Amino acid sequence: MSAPAKTSGKTSGKTSGKTSGKTSGDGDDRVWTVLDLLKWTTDHFAAKGLDTPRLDAELLLAHALGLRRLDLYLRYQEPVDPETRARYRELIGQRAGERIPVALLLGEKEFWSLSFTINADVLTPRPDTETLVEAALARLPDAEREYAILDMGTGSGAIALALANEKPRARITATDISPGALKIAAENAEALGLADSVRLLEGSLFEPVRGEFFDLIAANPPYLARDDAESLAPELAHEPDQALFGGADGYSVLRPLAEEAHGLLAPGGWLVVELDPSQAETVAGWLGESGLVGSEILKDLAGRARVVVARRPGAGDP
């Protein structure tokens, strides 16, 4: 996951989810149109300090109406019935009061132009992780080769299934320590028509695949520092701790990952790992110490160090 923005000041925890002001007919005879609701909710979310108030309002209203977000623009002047307003009002309270992320309220998130089911058992796929997918694909150039790929800590299956969609001949294994996460990954594989393309295994780190070798290992491990938990965005309270926090300093998974990956890579195989920008140099150094070569730090769309890649030396290396 990408490093979440820190908040100024502490939040007061979860609220009852109620909002101030009226958005529907609680003693209010006003006719509320789609545009009225969007304007009111955008202002309300902005006052609550949400980063994308208009986008959040549109996504939640489209969900309450059972429409695509783009359909809202064609229906700005249409009135919204009380039952739909009640559903929408509940979503507003959950977003602004309890700070539940929009993706969790919708139960889905787009990643690599694919739609993924998500819930509280998995990390919400984030755009910055597409940097990892791009890096992995760049190191798998042969369209006909049956690459062996490992996605360690797959969560919703976003990375494994994005790679499977792009590399249909690849043999992909995805692991996770969470049975709940693997269940969601299996559902996503089935929904995307990729169930036969990915093998799902339960276990910690490399334990489920000891003795196997891979042309590429991709990992988006937990890398936030538990010591920084109080300063993180309140939305993260709704995502699984074990997918977020890598111990007190953020390195409890990154360290053994860097030390052990060499032993599971085929000669010439690549490790591609996502991390916090502040960790990139340290992890790149560990990879060099473990015997990997060609270490490179890649930046995300915001220009932050986001992915480290390194390679096990191949037969043709000096």
What is the value of pTM for the model shown? Answer: 0.86
Question: For residue 16, is it within any domain?
Answer: no
> Are 120 and 94 part of one and the same domain?
no
> Are 191 and 88 part of one and the same domain?
no
- What tokens appear for 262 in the block? 């060499």
Residue 78: CATH number of its domain: 1.10.8
Looking at residue 28, its pLDDT comes to: 58
> Are 115 and 61 part of one and the same domain?
no
Domain that holds residue 113: 109-311
Question: For residue 29, is it within any domain?
Answer: no
The neighbouring-strand residues paired with 151 are: 174, 218
> Are 65 and 189 part of one and the same domain?
no
Q: Residues of the chain whose pLDDT is less than 70? A: 1-28, 315-318
Amino acid at the residue 134: E
> Are 116 and 93 part of one and the same domain?
no
d(CA 240, CA 292) in angstroms, rounded, equals 31
Q: What are phi and psi of 214, to 5 degrees?
A: -130, 145
- What tokens appear for 114 in the block? 């694919």
Alpha helices in 31-129 (DSSP H): 34-47, 53-65, 82-96, 102-106
**Are 176 and 159 a contacting pair, CB within 8 Å?**
no
Looking at residue 316, its pLDDT comes to: 65
**Are 141 and 153 a contacting pair, CB within 8 Å?**
no
Looking at residue 22, its pLDDT comes to: 45
d(CA 306, CA 280) in angstroms, rounded, equals 7
Looking at residue 143, its pLDDT comes to: 87
Side-chain-side CA neighbours of 169 within 13 Å: the count stands at 8
Looking at residue 101, its pLDDT comes to: 96
> Are 91 and 204 part of one and the same domain?
no
Looking at residue 30, its pLDDT comes to: 83
Q: Which of 45, 63, 98 is the last residue of a domain?
A: 98
